[in-house]
Structure 1
Amino acid sequence: MTFSTAVFLAWVVAFIFGIAIREYLKALIADRLGDKRPRSQGRLTLNPTAHHHGLGLVLAFMASVGYPVITWGKPVEVNTNALRGGRGSTTLVSAVGILANLLLGWLIWLAASPYIRNAKSTDLLANFLSGLVLVNFLLFAFDLLPIPPLDGYYFIKGLLPAQWDVKLQSYETYGTLILVIVVLFIPFLFGIFSSRGGNPIFDFIINPIVRAVCGLFGIPLG
């Protein structure tokens, strides 16, 4: 196995299972709070096939080979009226989604840091483990964006008065389209009109959040 293969596998594994674990935890919390919709839709499982869609998997592989994109999973559908606690519980489910990858990345770092810190820069296992940590932090940062169906949006929505729901319906209708524009078309246009290439969403939002998280947990970058 080469260095590039180890990094590629780390990113693929982290994207596929990081998203699956996050969506499973959201489904589990919603189920415990009284909403049986996720259970009826087969979301109470860690099987990644229950939590991914075709576009998300394509984006995961694109990101793993170096394209400046990121991916998201199939959102867990939550029925606010079925939850004990109503809107407050909806906010809790979203908060679990937001924090899941942050905590997962941190736990992987706690377990693997003694090995990573003492490994050479070319060590395949160390680079694989570092990739798992980094991708989970990337997923956390991306999930903070207030764009449906990301958890950052539903967390904020849950804090707003119920009368805002009608006003936000049209925004939710186009949420996936907005995400596609943010993830695919913005970096494409940026690559055409800027010599730097890359993705400004990463440069100005996601990467600074990841750097802040790494600084908080004392994780060296580079």
Structure 2
Amino acid sequence: MNFLDQILWLPLRDLPFYLITLIIAFTVHEFSHAYFANKFGDPTAKLLGRVTLNPAVHFDLLGIILLLLAGFGWARPVPVNRDNFTKPRMMGIVVSVAGPLSNLLLGIVGAVIFAALMQFGAISPNAMNGKLAEAVFTFFPLFIYMNFFLFLFNLIPLPPLDGYRIVEDVVPRRVQSKLQRVEQWSLLIFLLILIVPGVRNYTITPLYRAASWMMGNFLNLFQLMFGA
């Protein structure tokens, strides 16, 4: 076992597939926030060059390093000024939910492609060599699973996640002020649900199971559709 295998949380052979998945998932996620914010009249993200599918402008170096070493991390958040929206609450909700929904869509698209490849026999010893088939069987389940997980994870109602921003725009203003007082503890709470094993069993682990359930059911659904 080499040094990288010892420090990474996933097998070294899976690292390229993991990185490709994260590049696509994070880039599309942040682009979706920026795109809708700009469409609704807030030019902040556009002025910073964030309305783009160029991964370089969306990635945070520390976030990527932590993803590789610890299994969790982040991209650069898209700045949004809701004061520029004509309907701040409604448009704010759309901008916030656009990111997670983009991951849901990516997961579904990945499931469609993977199911089609399996159902139509494109993935078989006769259709491709063993290494290519192994790469396909490694990449697509990881891509589908990670995007479904990111969809669910980002809906957790804790700052700085999108779920919290959605709650902020839904609740009355008097509740908003109370929520903002708790934000100072958000990083501690966030790390708690990610790191402490006893807490993870009730917060993150159910999301792992839900993402696996979504992947299995979508794949079964599309395989049945293609089979019919």
TM-score by length of 2: 0.77
> Partner amino acid for 2:91?
S
Instruction: Report the Cα offset of residue 20 of structure 1.
Output: 1.2
Please tell me whether Structure 1 or Structure 2 has the larger radius of gyration of its CA atoms: 2
**Is residue 119 of structure 2 the alignment partner of residue 112 of structure 1?**
no
**Is residue 133 of structure 2 the alignment partner of residue 132 of structure 1?**
no
Name the structure 2 match of 1:210.
211
CA-based RMSD: 2.5
Identity of aligned residues (%): 27
Name the structure 2 match of 1:194.
none
Picking from 29, 32, 45, the partner of 1:22 is 29
Unaligned runs of 5+ in 2: 1-10, 125-129, 222-228
Picking from 144, 147, 153, the partner of 2:155 is 144
Name the structure 2 match of 1:195.
none
**Is residue 175 of structure 2 the alignment partner of residue 168 of structure 1?**
no
- The Cα offsets for residues 41-91 of structure 1, whole Å up to 9 and x where unpaired, read as 2211112222222332023213xxxx5x33332222211110121111101
Instruction: Report the Cα offset of residue 29 of structure 1.
Output: 0.3
Name the structure 1 match of 2:196.
186
Distance 1:73 1:164 in 2: 28
For 1:154, what is the secondary structure of its paired residue?
helix
> Partner amino acid for 1:105?
G
> Partner amino acid for 2:83?
N
Name the structure 2 match of 1:103.
105
Distance 2:112 2:183 in 1: 37
Contact 2:115–2:219 at 8 Å: present in 1 too?
Answer: no
> Partner amino acid for 1:99?
L
Distance 2:112 2:21 in 1: 16
Name the structure 2 match of 1:80.
82
Distance 2:162 2:96 in 1: 5
Given the superposition, is the C-alpha separation of residues 17 and 218 from structure 1 closer, same or farther in structure 2, using an over 3 Å criterion? closer
Given the superposition, is the C-alpha separation of residues 133 and 6 from structure 1 closer, same or farther in structure 2, using an over 3 Å criterion? farther
Distance 2:134 2:176 in 1: 51
Distance 1:13 1:32 in 2: 28
How many residue pairs get matched?
Answer: 201
- The Cα offsets for residues 147-183 of structure 1, whole Å up to 9 and x where unpaired, read as 1111111111111112333222233344344323332
Name the structure 2 match of 1:37.
44
Given the superposition, is the C-alpha separation of residues 55 and 173 from structure 1 closer, same or farther in structure 2, using an over 3 Å criterion? farther
Distance 1:219 1:11 in 2: 23
Distance 2:220 2:188 in 1: 35
> Partner amino acid for 1:141?
L
Picking from 42, 49, 73, the partner of 2:56 is 49
Contact 1:6–1:128 at 8 Å: present in 2 too?
Answer: no
Contact 2:111–2:215 at 8 Å: present in 1 too?
Answer: no
Instruction: Report the Cα offset of residue 6 of structure 1.
Output: 5.1
Segment drifting more, 174-183 vs 81-90: 174-183
Instruction: Report the Cα offset of residue 127 of structure 1.
Output: 1.4
